[in-house]
Structure 1
């Protein structure tokens, strides 16, 4: 019998020791008082905080050793007090006091110091405030990202080529397959990209644009995939999310994808295939659900054959292909488009009653527009800036347009060879102007070798000033 009692006592002692261990390792400094406010238990963190022994404090009233404690009041009222500032040993701490009830009666009260020093609370408050301002900033950024400027209503044109391409683009809004938009500079590739996003089920999520030609080669990876703290010299202390991370559940638009460095292409291919990546300097795998829309004015198929663009990446992005027609291929849209752009310019400048005269409309419709819609918009802006009346006439159009009008008259009396030379000179000059006299880009646009372009520039006496 005695042996059984000893065993029971031993088991009870083990259980008590077990609970005491848990009590000692409970987060924060914890003390328990009886209904009259006398300390009946206290854990090790609280003893360390007070710098007293367990035996010296048990049976002491809480007000004698715990400063301005209100544990005895909580034990009397049965009402908890949460997150109260309390002074113990001339040090401010944050405490909470909770009554323990049994059968409707308060049998004890538990007090816990949540923070060792009130300064920690101030520090946390500052961190919280900083975090709150960051969240507000990112919410504003997100709202901006989610709001695309263009929809299908922004695409102006009633010609057959435009009806066809708009129909193809609308079909692309019902799925999430990659889209490749090709066409000359200034044909409106980003407008189509935004319109597709705007009409898709992803429209409530971000539209993230990145120009592959505008990012330095050494920063491309960190821009696309982000970086962790300390990933490289000059990196932000808190790291930075990449464009693919920001595009989660939305659309990422890679403009001028033909300029993507060859060494980045396999990394992009992996993200497109697996929808996951790691930040620069990190090991955590980040998953992102995005739709890819890419655009270029270059011939990617030719680049594949030349070895400057990976074939596997080309096939991955070229699922839905939209080729936008050049403005000269849809001349019947030029009057409508000119009036539309003129209206936008007038609204922006606060002008009223601005119109397009028949002679100006005829000249605009006959021009070749190597810079496409972008060049047309620029031409109209320049004309509005210098126009005298409310009707934009042929005389208000830029000098290059005036020259074009005069050349049309000259061509009527020229030989075929003269006409061809004149046309070639004009096309080269306009292309150089469109590409800011970058001869490498102009040669690619014209589909000729750079050496041949130099010869023709010399032949026709074309300079940056004349172009």
Structure 2
């Protein structure tokens, strides 16, 4: 019997020690008083704060050592006092006092110091404000990341080619097949990509854009698939998700996919086929449900023949193919598009009543626009920047356009050979501009050898570098 009693006492003592340990390490300095305000227990953080021993404080009235304490009043009234400023040891603290009741009767009161120095609140408030501003910034970035600026309403054009391509693009919104958008620079490939995403069931999820030509070759894999902590020198300590991971349930837009390095193409193919990948430096398999939209101004079929683009990747991305017509193939859209862009530019600059004169409209409609809509927008911005009145006239348009108009008139009286030479010169000049004066790329796009391109540049006296 005595052995059983000893065992029970030992177990009870262990339980008491256990609860005492919890009490000592409870967040904040905590003290307990009886109904008369005498201290019956106190935890270690409060003892450290007061710099007294446990034995020296037990049995002492709370007002003797806890400054202007009101614990004894709370023990009498049974009413809690929350977040009260209290002075202890000539230091202002934030405290709360809570009555403990049993069978409706107050049997004790618990006091807890929330902040040992009230100045901590101001410091924490500043930190909170800083964190809050950071969170708002990241939320804004995330909203921008998830959102699309363009819908099908943003696509301006009433010509037959535009009606046809918009109809094909709308069909693509009802499924999740890969889409390949091709066309010359400045034809609006990203606008169509965003419009497809905006109209699809994935529209509430991210639209992630990545320009394959803008990312250094050595960083391409980590940008697409992310990396783990310490994957390489300069890697973030917490790692970083890749674009495919961020595009989960949404759309990933690979712009200028023709510039994707050959060594990256089988890795991209695997992700497209299996919808899974590992981060750089990691082993965990990450699954992502995404829709791929790719765009290029390159001839991918020709690149497959040349061996610079994998055929299996080409067939994987080329399920739905949208080829956007250049502006010169839909001239009837130029007046409508010009007025639309002019209104946007004027609104951005706070200008009112800006309109397009008939002579300017005629000149704009007759130009070939090798840079397509992007060049048209730039041309109108330059014209608005220099215009004198509210009507944009022929004289406000760049001099090169006026030269082109005069050249067209001259061509009507030229021989066939002269006309062909002039046309060839214009095509070579435009292609060089579109390829940022990269002669190797321009030669590939023109379908001629680079040596022949150099000869023609010399023949026509073309300035083959940016100004």
Same fold (TM over 0.5): yes
Compared with structure 1, are the counterparts of its residues 434 and 277 closer, same or farther at alpha carbon in structure 2 (3 Å cutoff)? same
Aligned equivalents of 1:381 and 1:369: distance in 2? 15
1:47 to 1:395, Cα distance in 2 relative to 1, 3 A? closer
Report Cα offsets for 1:349-380 as digits up to 9, x if no partner.
56666555666555544443322222233344
1:427 to partner: Cα distance: 0.8
Deviates more, 1:324-333 or 1:394-403: 394-403
Q: Which moved more, 1:251-260 or 1:426-435?
A: 251-260
The 1:44/1:390 distance shift into structure 2, 3 A limit, reads: closer
Separation in structure 1 between the aligned mates of residue 261 and residue 59 of structure 2, nearest angstrom: 76
TM-superposed deviation, 1:183: 0.8
Which residue in 1 is equivalent to 2:138?
138
Tell whether the 8 Å contact from 1:371 to 1:431 is kept in structure 2 after alignment: no
CA distance in 2, matches of 1:81, 1:226: 51
- Distance in 1 (CA, whole Å) between partners of 2:346 and 2:50 is 76
Deviations along 1:5-60, whole A, 9 cap, x unmatched?
44444443343333334333434433322111222223344444444443333222
Q: Return closer, same or farther for 1:90/1:272 CA change in 2, 3 Å cut-off.
A: farther
Contact 2:437 2:466 in 1 (8 A): no
Q: 1:68 to 1:359 in 2, by over 3 A?
A: closer
Q: Decide which moves more: 156-165 or 346-355.
A: 346-355
**Which residue of structure 2 lines up, in the alignment, with residue 381 of structure 1?**
381
Q: 8 Å contact 2:457–2:464 — kept in the other structure?
A: no
Using structure 1 for the length normalisation, give the TM-score.
0.82
The answer for the alignment partner of 1:186 in structure 2 is 186
1:15–1:146 distance in 2 versus 1, CA, 3 Å: closer
Partners of 2:436 and 2:466 within 8 A in 1: no
Deviations 1:371-417 (Å, cap 9, x if unpaired)?
Answer: 22222333444455556776656565433333333333443444433
- Describe the shift of the 1:121–1:255 C-alpha distance in structure 2 as closer, same or farther (beyond 3 A): same
Could you tell me how far 1:105 is from its partner in structure 2?
Answer: 0.8
Normalised by the size of structure 2, how large is the TM-score?
0.82
Alpha-carbon shift at residue 446 of structure 1 (Å): 2.4
Deviations 1:205-232 (A, max 9, x none): 5544443333444555565566788888
- Please give the alpha-carbon distance, in whole angstroms, between the structure 1 residues aligned to 2:319 and 2:181: 10
Please state whether the residue corresponding to 1:254 is helix, strand or coil.
Answer: strand
Structure 1: give runs of 5+ residues left out of the alignment: none
Query: Judging changes above 3 Å, is the alpha-carbon distance between structure 1 residues 46 and 344 closer, same or farther for their aligned structure 2 residues?
Result: closer
Shift of 1:290: 4.8
Residues 388-407 of structure 1 correspond to what in structure 2 (within 5 A)? 397-407=397-407
Greater Cα offset, 5-14 or 384-393: 384-393
RMSD: 3.9
Q: CA deviation at 1:454?
A: 1.3
**2:444 is paired with a residue of what secondary structure?**
helix
Structure 1 residues 219 and 160: CA distance shift in structure 2, 3 A = same
Deviates more, 1:372-381 or 1:272-281: 272-281
Q: Is the 8 A contact 1:161 1:330 kept in 2?
A: yes
**Bigger shift: 313-322 or 187-196?**
313-322
Pair 1:27–1:315, CA change in 2 (3 A): farther
Taking structure 1 as reference, are residues 387 and 11 closer, same or farther at Cα in structure 2, changes over 3 Å only?
Answer: closer
